[in-house]
Amino acid sequence: MTAIRTVLTLFVMTVIIGGEHTAHAVTLPQLPQKQVNVAMPTVNGSTLTATCATLQARLNTAATLNVNLTHQIILAAGATCTGPYMLPAHTGGTGWILIKGSNYAKLPLPGTRVKLTDTSLMPHIKYGEREEGSYTHVGAFSARTGAQRYRIMGIDMVQDSTRNPNLALVVTGYGHPNALNTGYIILDRVVIRDTNATHQTLRGVYGDAQRGHTALIDSYVAGIKDVGLNNDTQAWLSISNPGPILVQNNFLEASGENLMLGGGDPVSATVLPKDVTIRRNTFSKNSAWWGDRGYLTKTLLELKLGVRVLIEGNDFINMPWNGGGYAVLLTARNQDGSAPFSEVSDLTIRHNLFRNITNGIFGFGADDAGPRNLSKRSKRWHIHNNLFYGLGGSLCGGGAACGTWIIIEEGGTSCIDPGPGSNCEVSDLRIAHNTVDDINEYTFQAVRTNQRGLDFRDNLINVNGGRGIFNGGLWGTKFLNAHYGSTWIFTNNQLAAIGGGEETVLYPQGTNRYPASATSFLWANRAGRVYTLQAGSPAKSAASDGTDQGVNFSLYNTARASRSVSTSTLSDPAVSIPPQQLRIAMPN
């Protein structure tokens, strides 16, 4: 069993500053080294039928059967049950326990996302709460200590409006003494939802697991929200989970962060989320939550933790200003002061669509200054081959700095591994081959100086009368020199319609171009949002690698259209956490 190995690639950055030739090597991120194996196991053991009244007993029985065989439990479609059903200890073998509805075969095939209308084919399990010793299990399903190799398929999990709020509809085993040693839990073509507009459901999936190997695939999660109580909410949340984690081909809707890694402190560095793949999902905010309507809304995706994270082929759409302002927020954070090992490093964001959003990406090198909240510094981010359009505009609602593409901020001295200037900058940042339209404010900002390592190349950007590469009264080459010293490259880019009084002659010249209008790009059909290039476009074959500037739509479309899933068998390093080290960390 071998892990996927990614070779680091070095790009030599050559800059001419005041006639002096300097060079800086940028290290690209590692991709995830492990993947969740979501290949469907063959049932070669027992088949148990269940009603609402007998489902827990069937789960208990299945967990005692031969652990090297795969058993299935069939719950009648249309049944309406109340959880939580506890997943018992099931360890030491290679077999799985499958939990599915009787009409499972009528659902869309694996690799195809279910819809809300598919709930007519599913059994329904409502949120519930059940005491077990000093701990209260919650949700439709909740993992007990040792719960491993469970696959829940084709089940509708829904809020109970008599309980408010509902804390989480699925709990795969976060850091409490009743759920140690969990992992290998897959949610496959399930629906997780709150349908009551005045009700609170704080989490769809609380996706922690001491052994990792957790996944949500081909599913639909909606209505996860807070109303007036100022509680944070997530469709998927992981804090203590060593990975691999797979969130693939889902609809994800939550008023807080649709998906978040972090928000509390992992119980140890061993279970900091690693090897995370977030692929081909739709992230969206419900329009009923927009504006001042009593909902606590934040961002579409937030990473406060994460190492070797791949964000690929997703749609990030419908993000209003009152949602915190940015579609993606990257804030390495030692949330509660007990996790100085926190970091967001080896991050790849590629082949994604961002549209109808207030702002694009806001990243910090470190966050929460002060001795109590020191974290590690963020390193090796690669943002490439993404399409952005519809930034700001009518979504802004009077918010400041609305319509900005990317802001990078260093964290002062609030990290335990500061960079060369004793600062917590994001080091080794590559921004390449992106197509960007409709900027209303800023194109790229680095807040504060002493950043280190920027490779900005092959981007095709309609600044649309907004600011270009700008901050603190400095733009263009002066900005790059002030914030990145000699550690930047800016090559083979086109920025059209730079406004704000910025003189494009003060930008890096050479292979870069600054046309007065984006019409010179010769996009195929800007009004129809088709951003491929027409014949004769000056962006054709003008990139530093000989391809077109902006998005390579061949790679982009392939990554977004694929329905393949990983079937590889990968190593599973054991994780052991003594009970005395465990702590419950509910996110803020």
Percentage of residues of the chain with pLDDT beyond 90: 68
For 400, residues 6+ apart whose C-beta sits below 8 A from its C-beta are none
- Average of per-residue pLDDT across 515-534: 97
Q: Which amino acid is it at 540?
A: K
- Average of per-residue pLDDT across 23-29: 78
**pLDDT, position 370:** 67
Residue count of the chain: 588
**pLDDT, position 3:** 39
**pLDDT, position 407:** 92
Is the per-residue pLDDT at 186 higher than 60?
yes
Q: Which helix (H) or strand (E) holds 235?
A: strand 234-238
Residue 41 CB neighbours (<10 A): 18
More confident residue, 570 or 492: 492
Is the per-residue pLDDT at 160 higher than 90?
yes
Distance (Å, whole) CA 91 – CA 183: 10
Distance (Å, whole) CA 569 – CA 182: 19
Is the per-residue pLDDT at 36 higher than 60?
yes
**pLDDT, position 365:** 87
Is the per-residue pLDDT at 14 higher than 70?
no
Q: Which of 220-234, 289-303, 361-375, 541-555 has the highest mean pLDDT?
A: 541-555
Distance (Å) of CA 184 to CA 95, 176, 274, 489, 499: 11, 18, 15, 43, 52
Determine which of 326-335, 341-350, 394-403 has the lowest per-residue pLDDT on average. Answer: 394-403
**pLDDT, position 379:** 93
Express the helix, strand and coil content of the chain in percent, nearest 5 each.
10, 35, 55
Is the per-residue pLDDT at 140 higher than 60?
yes
Is the per-residue pLDDT at 99 higher than 80?
yes
Q: Which of 224-228, 244-248, 584-588 has the highest mean pLDDT?
A: 244-248
Determine which of 35-44, 446-455, 476-485 has the lowest per-residue pLDDT on average. Answer: 446-455
Tell me the pLDDT band of 574, cut-offs 50, 70 and 90.
very low
Burial of 456 (0-12, 13-18, 19+ CB in 10 A): buried
Is the per-residue pLDDT at 586 higher than 70?
no
Question: Beta-strand (E) ranges in 282-426?
Answer: 282-284, 301-303, 306-312, 315-319, 328-331, 344-350, 353-357, 361-364, 379-384, 387-391, 406-409
Is the per-residue pLDDT at 208 higher than 80?
yes
Is the per-residue pLDDT at 141 higher than 60?
yes
pTM confidence score: 0.91
Over residues 254-273, the pLDDT tens digits come to 999 999 999 999 999 999 99
**pLDDT, position 296:** 77
**pLDDT, position 324:** 60
Determine which of 18-32, 273-287, 354-368 has the lowest per-residue pLDDT on average. Answer: 18-32
Residue 572 CB neighbours (<10 A): 16
Tell me the pLDDT band of 293, cut-offs 50, 70 and 90.
confident
- Average of per-residue pLDDT across 196-215: 94
**pLDDT, position 1:** 37
Tell me the pLDDT band of 93, cut-offs 50, 70 and 90.
very high
Distance of CA 45 to the CA centre of its chain: 36
Specify the CATH class of 34-570 in words.
Answer: mainly beta
Is the per-residue pLDDT at 473 higher than 60?
yes
**pLDDT, position 368:** 65
Tell me the domain boundaries of the chain: 34-570
Q: What is the mean pLDDT of the chain?
A: 87
**pLDDT, position 396:** 79
Is the per-residue pLDDT at 187 higher than 70?
yes
**pLDDT, position 78:** 96
Distance (Å, whole) CA 415 – CA 422: 9
The partner residues of 496 in beta bridges, in order of sequence, read 462
Contact 324, 298 (CB under 8 A): yes
Is the per-residue pLDDT at 431 higher than 50?
yes
Determine which of 234-238, 492-496, 577-581 has the lowest per-residue pLDDT on average. Answer: 577-581
